[in-house]
Protein backbone atom coordinates (compact mmCIF):
# COMPACT_ATOMS: atom_id res chain seq x y z
CA UNK A 1 0.00 0.00 0.00
CA UNK A 2 1.36 3.42 -0.93
CA UNK A 3 0.00 6.16 1.32
CA UNK A 4 0.84 9.84 1.11
CA UNK A 5 -0.33 12.95 2.91
CA UNK A 6 -2.32 15.16 0.54
CA UNK A 7 -3.47 18.20 2.48
CA UNK A 8 -5.06 19.61 5.63
CA UNK A 9 -8.15 21.76 5.34
CA UNK A 10 -10.03 24.16 7.58
CA UNK A 11 -12.94 24.54 5.17
CA UNK A 12 -14.36 23.59 1.80
CA UNK A 13 -11.85 25.71 -0.09
CA UNK A 14 -9.10 23.52 1.29
CA UNK A 15 -10.55 20.15 0.27
CA UNK A 16 -8.49 18.33 -2.33
CA UNK A 17 -9.64 18.61 -5.92
CA UNK A 18 -10.27 14.90 -6.34
CA UNK A 19 -13.07 12.45 -6.98
CA UNK A 20 -11.56 9.52 -5.11
CA UNK A 21 -13.85 7.81 -2.59
CA UNK A 22 -13.16 8.92 0.97
CA UNK A 23 -13.19 6.76 4.08
CA UNK A 24 -13.43 8.96 7.17
CA UNK A 25 -12.21 8.03 10.63
CA UNK A 26 -14.29 9.58 13.43
CA UNK A 27 -14.39 9.24 17.19
CA UNK A 28 -13.79 10.87 20.54
CA UNK A 29 -10.64 12.86 21.06
CA UNK A 30 -7.79 10.53 22.10
CA UNK A 31 -9.63 7.35 21.06
CA UNK A 32 -6.80 6.61 18.61
CA UNK A 33 -7.93 7.86 15.18
CA UNK A 34 -4.54 9.06 14.02
CA UNK A 35 -2.83 5.95 15.42
CA UNK A 36 -5.40 3.81 13.60
CA UNK A 37 -4.54 5.52 10.30
CA UNK A 38 -0.83 4.95 10.88
CA UNK A 39 -1.31 1.29 11.77
CA UNK A 40 -3.69 0.65 8.88
CA UNK A 41 -1.27 2.17 6.37
CA UNK A 42 1.83 0.77 8.08
CA UNK A 43 3.35 4.26 8.23
CA UNK A 44 4.40 5.34 11.69
CA UNK A 45 4.24 9.07 11.14
CA UNK A 46 1.62 9.56 8.47
CA UNK A 47 -0.94 11.11 10.82
CA UNK A 48 0.05 13.14 13.86
CA UNK A 49 -0.40 11.30 17.16
CA UNK A 50 -0.42 13.30 20.37
CA UNK A 51 0.08 12.39 23.99
CA UNK A 52 -2.63 14.86 24.96
CA UNK A 53 -6.17 14.97 23.50
CA UNK A 54 -7.21 17.48 20.85
CA UNK A 55 -4.15 17.04 18.64
CA UNK A 56 -5.86 16.84 15.28
CA UNK A 57 -7.42 20.22 14.51
CA UNK A 58 -7.96 20.11 10.79
CA UNK A 59 -9.35 17.64 8.28
CA UNK A 60 -6.40 15.66 6.92
CA UNK A 61 -6.51 13.77 3.64
CA UNK A 62 -4.27 10.82 2.84
CA UNK A 63 -4.07 9.28 -0.62
CA UNK A 64 -4.03 5.48 -0.64
CA UNK A 65 -2.70 3.86 -3.80
CA UNK A 66 -4.17 6.70 -5.88
CA UNK A 67 -7.43 4.78 -5.46
CA UNK A 68 -9.09 6.15 -2.33
CA UNK A 69 -8.51 8.63 0.48
CA UNK A 70 -8.33 8.06 4.17
CA UNK A 71 -9.51 11.10 6.11
CA UNK A 72 -8.46 12.01 9.67
CA UNK A 73 -10.69 14.50 11.47
CA UNK A 74 -10.59 16.17 14.91
CA UNK A 75 -12.08 14.22 17.77
CA UNK A 76 -15.17 15.28 19.72
CA UNK A 77 -15.82 15.33 23.44
CA UNK A 78 -12.59 16.95 24.54
CA UNK A 79 -13.55 18.77 27.74
CA UNK A 80 -10.67 21.25 27.77
CA UNK A 81 -11.36 22.70 24.38
CA UNK A 82 -12.60 26.30 24.31
CA UNK A 83 -16.20 26.95 23.30
CA UNK A 84 -15.02 28.98 20.35
CA UNK A 85 -12.89 26.07 19.14
CA UNK A 86 -15.73 23.57 19.60
CA UNK A 87 -18.01 25.73 17.43
CA UNK A 88 -15.31 26.21 14.78
CA UNK A 89 -14.58 22.52 14.54
CA UNK A 90 -18.27 21.60 14.62
CA UNK A 91 -18.90 23.87 11.64
CA UNK A 92 -15.88 22.48 9.80
CA UNK A 93 -17.11 18.91 10.31
CA UNK A 94 -20.76 19.72 9.45
CA UNK A 95 -19.65 21.30 6.20
CA UNK A 96 -17.53 18.29 5.33
CA UNK A 97 -20.10 15.64 6.19
CA UNK A 98 -22.97 17.50 4.53
CA UNK A 99 -21.23 18.61 1.36
CA UNK A 100 -18.44 16.19 0.50
CA UNK A 101 -20.16 14.00 -2.05
CA UNK A 102 -17.56 11.23 -2.28
CA UNK A 103 -17.66 10.13 1.35
CA UNK A 104 -18.23 6.41 0.90
CA UNK A 105 -17.90 5.09 4.42
CA UNK A 106 -17.38 6.26 8.00
CA UNK A 107 -15.18 4.33 10.40
CA UNK A 108 -16.49 5.05 13.91
CA UNK A 109 -13.87 4.41 16.57
CA UNK A 110 -14.89 3.64 20.15
CA UNK A 111 -12.66 2.72 23.09
CA UNK A 112 -12.81 -1.06 23.59
CA UNK A 113 -12.54 -0.60 27.36
CA UNK A 114 -15.64 1.52 27.83
CA UNK A 115 -19.27 1.63 26.92
CA UNK A 116 -19.74 3.94 23.92
CA UNK A 117 -20.43 7.48 25.14
CA UNK A 118 -23.48 9.63 24.48
CA UNK A 119 -21.36 11.55 21.98
CA UNK A 120 -20.41 8.31 20.22
CA UNK A 121 -24.06 7.37 19.91
CA UNK A 122 -25.01 10.83 18.62
CA UNK A 123 -22.26 10.65 16.03
CA UNK A 124 -23.44 7.23 14.85
CA UNK A 125 -27.00 8.53 14.65
CA UNK A 126 -25.88 11.54 12.61
CA UNK A 127 -23.97 9.33 10.17
CA UNK A 128 -27.01 7.05 9.82
CA UNK A 129 -29.18 10.05 9.03
CA UNK A 130 -26.70 11.09 6.35
CA UNK A 131 -26.95 7.53 4.96
CA UNK A 132 -23.26 6.75 5.27
CA UNK A 133 -22.28 3.13 5.80
CA UNK A 134 -20.56 2.78 9.19
CA UNK A 135 -17.82 0.41 10.32
CA UNK A 136 -17.45 0.23 14.12
CA UNK A 137 -13.90 -0.25 15.36
CA UNK A 138 -13.07 -0.75 19.04
CA UNK A 139 -9.56 0.57 19.74
CA UNK A 140 -6.85 -0.21 22.31
CA UNK A 141 -7.80 -3.87 22.78
CA UNK A 142 -4.21 -4.42 23.97
CA UNK A 143 -5.29 -2.77 27.21
CA UNK A 144 -7.79 -5.56 27.87
CA UNK A 145 -6.59 -9.05 28.89
CA UNK A 146 -6.92 -11.46 25.95
CA UNK A 147 -9.57 -13.58 27.67
CA UNK A 148 -11.83 -10.56 28.21
CA UNK A 149 -11.68 -9.02 24.74
CA UNK A 150 -14.70 -10.83 23.27
CA UNK A 151 -16.77 -9.82 26.29
CA UNK A 152 -15.76 -6.18 25.80
CA UNK A 153 -16.79 -6.30 22.13
CA UNK A 154 -20.07 -7.96 23.09
CA UNK A 155 -20.84 -5.14 25.50
CA UNK A 156 -20.20 -2.58 22.80
CA UNK A 157 -22.38 -4.50 20.35
CA UNK A 158 -25.20 -4.58 22.91
CA UNK A 159 -24.85 -0.93 23.80
CA UNK A 160 -24.98 0.08 20.12
CA UNK A 161 -27.57 -2.57 19.27
CA UNK A 162 -25.45 -3.84 16.41
CA UNK A 163 -24.43 -7.44 15.65
CA UNK A 164 -21.14 -8.57 17.24
CA UNK A 165 -19.70 -9.51 13.86
CA UNK A 166 -19.92 -5.87 12.77
CA UNK A 167 -17.61 -4.66 15.57
CA UNK A 168 -13.89 -4.87 14.80
CA UNK A 169 -11.39 -4.92 17.66
CA UNK A 170 -7.98 -3.39 16.95
CA UNK A 171 -4.76 -2.44 18.67
CA UNK A 172 -2.60 0.12 16.92
CA UNK A 173 0.34 -0.53 19.21
CA UNK A 174 0.22 -4.30 18.72
CA UNK A 175 -1.11 -4.13 15.17
CA UNK A 176 -4.00 -6.46 15.78
CA UNK A 177 -7.19 -6.54 13.70
CA UNK A 178 -6.18 -4.40 10.73
CA UNK A 179 -6.42 -7.04 8.00
CA UNK A 180 -10.08 -7.55 8.83
CA UNK A 181 -10.87 -3.83 8.82
CA UNK A 182 -8.95 -3.40 5.58
CA UNK A 183 -10.95 -6.19 3.94
CA UNK A 184 -14.18 -4.52 5.08
CA UNK A 185 -13.05 -1.13 3.71
CA UNK A 186 -12.52 -2.75 0.28
CA UNK A 187 -16.27 -3.31 0.09
CA UNK A 188 -16.81 0.45 -0.03
CA UNK A 189 -14.16 1.55 -2.53
N1 LIG B 1 -2.22 1.14 24.12
C2 LIG B 1 -2.68 1.73 23.03
N3 LIG B 1 -2.61 3.08 22.93
C4 LIG B 1 -3.10 3.67 21.82
C5 LIG B 1 -3.71 2.93 20.78
N6 LIG B 1 -4.12 3.79 19.82
C7 LIG B 1 -3.77 5.02 20.26
N8 LIG B 1 -3.16 4.96 21.45
C9 LIG B 1 -2.64 6.11 22.25
O10 LIG B 1 -3.72 7.00 22.51
C11 LIG B 1 -3.31 8.36 22.43
C12 LIG B 1 -4.16 9.12 21.44
O13 LIG B 1 -3.92 8.61 20.14
P14 LIG B 1 -4.27 9.46 18.82
O15 LIG B 1 -4.09 8.51 17.68
O16 LIG B 1 -3.51 10.73 18.78
O17 LIG B 1 -5.81 9.76 19.08
P18 LIG B 1 -6.81 10.68 18.22
O19 LIG B 1 -8.12 10.01 18.27
O20 LIG B 1 -6.23 10.93 16.87
O21 LIG B 1 -6.85 12.01 19.08
P22 LIG B 1 -7.25 13.52 18.61
O23 LIG B 1 -6.47 13.83 17.38
O24 LIG B 1 -6.85 14.34 19.77
O25 LIG B 1 -8.71 13.52 18.39
C26 LIG B 1 -1.83 8.31 22.08
O27 LIG B 1 -1.09 8.41 23.26
C28 LIG B 1 -1.65 6.95 21.43
O29 LIG B 1 -0.34 6.46 21.55
C30 LIG B 1 -3.77 1.49 20.93
O31 LIG B 1 -4.30 0.75 20.07
N32 LIG B 1 -3.26 0.97 22.08
MG1 LIG C 1 -5.77 12.65 15.87
Q: What is the pLDDT of residues 139-179, one digit of tens each?
A: 999 999 999 999 999 999 999 999 999 999 999 999 999 99
User: Three-state DSSP class for 5?
Assistant: strand
The pLDDT confidence band at residue 4, using thresholds 50, 70 and 90, is: very high
**Relative to the alpha carbon of 51, which ligand is closest?**
1
Q: What is the value of pTM for the model shown?
A: 0.96
- 109 C-alpha to center of ligand 2: Å? 12
Which residues have CB under 8 Å from 21's CB, separation 6+?
Answer: 68, 69, 102, 103, 104, 105, 188, 189
- 36 C-alpha to center of ligand 1: Å? 8
Instruction: Tell me the mean pLDDT in the region 80-84.
Output: 83
Q: End-to-end distance of the chain based on CA atoms, in angstroms?
A: 14
CA atoms of 175 and 85, how far apart (whole Å): 33
Of the given ranges (3-12, 43-52, 118-127, 153-162), which has the lowest mean pLDDT? 43-52
Q: Which fold has domain 3-186?
A: Rossmann fold (3.40.50)
Percent of the chain with pLDDT over 70: 100
Report the candidate in 31, 95, 41, 48 with the shortest Cα–Cα distance to residue 69. Answer: 41
pLDDT at 77 (0 to 100): 82
Amino acid sequence: MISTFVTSSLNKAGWPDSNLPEIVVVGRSNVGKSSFINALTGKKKLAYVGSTPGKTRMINFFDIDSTWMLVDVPGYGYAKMSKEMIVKMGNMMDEYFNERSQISCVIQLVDARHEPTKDDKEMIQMMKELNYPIIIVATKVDKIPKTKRIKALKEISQSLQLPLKTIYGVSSTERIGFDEVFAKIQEYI
